[in-house]
Structure 1
Amino acid sequence: MTRKLRCHAIVIGVTVALTLAGCGGGGESSNSSANTNGLEKTTIKVGALPIPDPVSLYIANAKGFFKEEGLTVQPTIITGGAAALPQIESGALDISQTNYVSTFVAVGQGKKIKLVADCYQAGPNTFNIMVPQDSTIKTVADLKGKTILVNNLNNIATLAVETQLKVAGLTKDDVKFSEKPFPDMGNAIKGGQADAGWITEPFITANQSANGFRKLADTMTGQTENLPIAGWMATEEWSQKYPKTLAAFQRAIAKAQQLASTDRKEIEAMLPTYTKIDAKTASVITLGTYPSELNANRLQKVADLMLEYGYLKSPIDVKSVITAPASG
């Protein structure tokens, strides 16, 4: 997602992230195999936003999936995929959540980044344009001349809104985008600082409940239906230096993604442990999906859309950005 997605910079007020100590010494079967093969690095720091998108990271820790691989993962809170890029380049983070728009922008600028695992894909009503209940804005066409809050300029937020403006016969030049963190959007719109906001969960539910906001448009329809939002990235150098460590991470996160995609209760139980989303809200918020493997064809859709709307100057072959899991 979403979320600073991603896609996107998000501040939710964070509880302490889960951390597993100990890296599973001389176990049997898969544990023994992983340790015998010798992970190049047994403890890694992984950047994640305190939102639903990276829930599989915490599921994998809680269920012992990383430990089974001989790996200790230390989640580290980040403010957005773009903001995390300098941290993985410097080595402060080994792997980080990222939104695909930020990633492809960076790749287009020559950054040596690899996508190593999928994280989150949009579903219906997971990223909506919202307005106050009594707003005179009734359709997307009514946004002409209006101010729309987004969590990040020139990123997944503005791209998603632009696709809806196009359907309504408008362009980005017909509106004004203004940057505001998701938690602050509701009060800013109520206070007259903007007319509408591009909002994701849990803030969609929160603003409906607390402020009486209504949905103007689901931005994940048409060109953006089922749009891939967020994944896990590492630098090309790190991926080449620690291939066994990376493969261990990929196996564990794929297992957790599979669990998240088939059992919502696992997500609901985990969200309150690393976000400010309480159990009641976790049970009602709208969620996207959690793909268990990177698919170049799906991700190419994002890069092609970015090229169409001017976020990229030249095409990107997404296959060249993906580091596939090692066999075995």
Structure 2
Amino acid sequence: MKKRFAIVLTALSCALSGGAFAQGKIQIGCTATTDCASAMVAADEGLFRKHGLDAEMVLIGINSNIPAALLSNSIQIGGPTSTVFIQAVDGGLDLAAVAGASVMNTSSNEAIAAFVRNGVTIKEPKDFVGKKVGAPGLGAFLHVLFRKWLMEKGVDPKSVNFVEVTFPTMNDVLKSGTVDAVLTAEPFVTRMTNAGTGYVGARYGADLARTEPIIFYAASRDWAASHAEDIKKFRAAIAEAAVIVNTDRAKAGASIAKFTKQPLDIVKLSPPNHSEPALKSDQLAWWIEVMKQQGMLQTDPDLNRMILK
């Protein structure tokens, strides 16, 4: 694990070394999902500026690249999934969670799906055996949650061939037959359904019905320690933006569509995931247990150290 993160970190550092980011400006990296809606809204509605923070959003293709991007300082705050964050810390990266982003609830769980291409038959969990399934980050939220669902249904996750596929390329990858299914969520489910690419093979998020964090905002511990005032400003802006995300679907949808480059009409078909700025260490306990079951952790992560006080 440490070797994998070291390789990714080196690659990202080399790729980004040609142009340093403007001093004083904070880059916030997230993938093309609704889970970082509070940061998207804070940027669009001027809430970062209101709280004295010069910040902009940066689109990251694969969630599992976020920890390395944080350590290389190509972004200063990122939105890793709970599983990516925990695995990075377990692998030796000194990261700290600085604020909550999204949590699982009935709405977000219903939006999660294993989407199957036309020509492939999936009627029950065991039908995924031997199939090639694309995930937007191996070890990320949707991947780990799906493997948990397979285990609860009596299917060995090792019998499924998982590969990484970014959200924006899922439709094309399915159409080409490169993969048999993808692990995705709204608005991509509706967009691919409308395109006639395939069908929903499983609503595994709804089946599990959990309430733990999906994504939260994190930073390198060194950066957070030397930018305590910026962290306070960030938290204040996120707390204000979370209210908008949870109560004003129109504003939230517009910000999500702008950042993810999804058509607004498609984004409007599903509400953004519930935003919860507060983050407590015990909320990560379930994820740690799940990851231990899947043999993803080498240590016993310190829950109290994970979250920046």
Q: TM-score range by the shorter chain?
A: 0.7 to 0.9
What is the CA deviation profile of residues 302-326 of structure 1, one whole-angstrom value per residue up to 9, with x for unaligned ones? Answer: 22211121111232232211013xx
1:164 aligned partner: 149
Is the aligned partner of 1:44 residue 2:44?
no
Number of equivalent positions: 284
Identity of aligned residues (%): 23
Runs of 4+ more than 4 Å apart: none
One-letter amino acid of the counterpart of residue 26, structure 2? I
Is the aligned partner of 1:109 residue 2:91?
yes
What is the CA deviation profile of residues 97-145 of structure 1, one whole-angstrom value per residue up to 9, with x for unaligned ones? Answer: 2222111111101211000011122322222112246643211122222
The correspondence for 1:76, drawn from 58, 62, 84, is: 58
Q: Is the Cα–Cα contact under 8 Å of residues 94 and 221 in structure 2 kept in the other structure? A: yes
Aligned-pair CA distance for 1:42: 5.6
The correspondence for 1:290, drawn from 263, 275, 278, is: 275
2:75 aligned partner: 93
Aligned counterparts of 1:184 and 1:62: Cα–Cα separation in 2: 25
2:5 aligned partner: none
2:198 aligned partner: 213
Aligned counterparts of 1:98 and 1:235: Cα–Cα separation in 2: 12
More helix by share: 2
Q: Is the Cα–Cα contact under 8 Å of residues 42 and 245 in structure 1 kept in the other structure? A: no
TM-score (norm 2): 0.83
What is the CA deviation profile of residues 15-67 of structure 1, one whole-angstrom value per residue up to 9, with x for unaligned ones? Answer: xxxxxxxxxxxxxxxxxxxxxxxxxx964222233432222223213333222
Q: Which stretch of structure 1 is more off in the superposition, 60-69 or 299-308?
A: 60-69
Aligned counterparts of 1:191 and 1:71: Cα–Cα separation in 2: 44
1:263 aligned partner: 248
Q: Is the Cα–Cα contact under 8 Å of residues 118 and 197 in structure 2 kept in the other structure? A: yes
Aligned counterparts of 1:192 and 1:272: Cα–Cα separation in 2: 27
Distance change in 2, residues 1:286/1:311 (3 Å) = farther
TM-score (norm 1): 0.79
Q: Which stretch of structure 1 is more off in the superposition, 68-77 or 96-105?
A: 68-77
Q: Which stretch of structure 1 is more off in the superposition, 150-159 or 168-177?
A: 150-159
Is the aligned partner of 1:197 residue 2:182?
yes
One-letter amino acid of the counterpart of residue 167, structure 2? F
Aligned counterparts of 2:43 and 2:301: Cα–Cα separation in 1: 34
Q: Is the Cα–Cα contact under 8 Å of residues 127 and 200 in structure 1 kept in the other structure? A: yes
Aligned counterparts of 1:192 and 1:74: Cα–Cα separation in 2: 36
1:36 aligned partner: none
Aligned counterparts of 1:220 and 1:141: Cα–Cα separation in 2: 17
Structure exhibiting the larger radius of gyration computed from Cα positions: 1
Secondary structure class of the residue paired with 2:146: helix
Unaligned runs of at least 5 residues, structure 2: 1-22
Unaligned runs of at least 5 residues, structure 1: 1-40
2:122 aligned partner: 137
Q: Is the Cα–Cα contact under 8 Å of residues 146 and 195 in structure 1 kept in the other structure? A: yes
What is the RMSD computed on CA atoms of the aligned residues? 2.2
Aligned counterparts of 1:146 and 1:119: Cα–Cα separation in 2: 32
Distance change in 2, residues 1:224/1:301 (3 Å) = farther
Aligned counterparts of 1:274 and 1:248: Cα–Cα separation in 2: 21
Aligned counterparts of 1:194 and 1:90: Cα–Cα separation in 2: 32
Is the aligned partner of 1:147 residue 2:132?
yes
Distance change in 2, residues 1:49/1:158 (3 Å) = closer
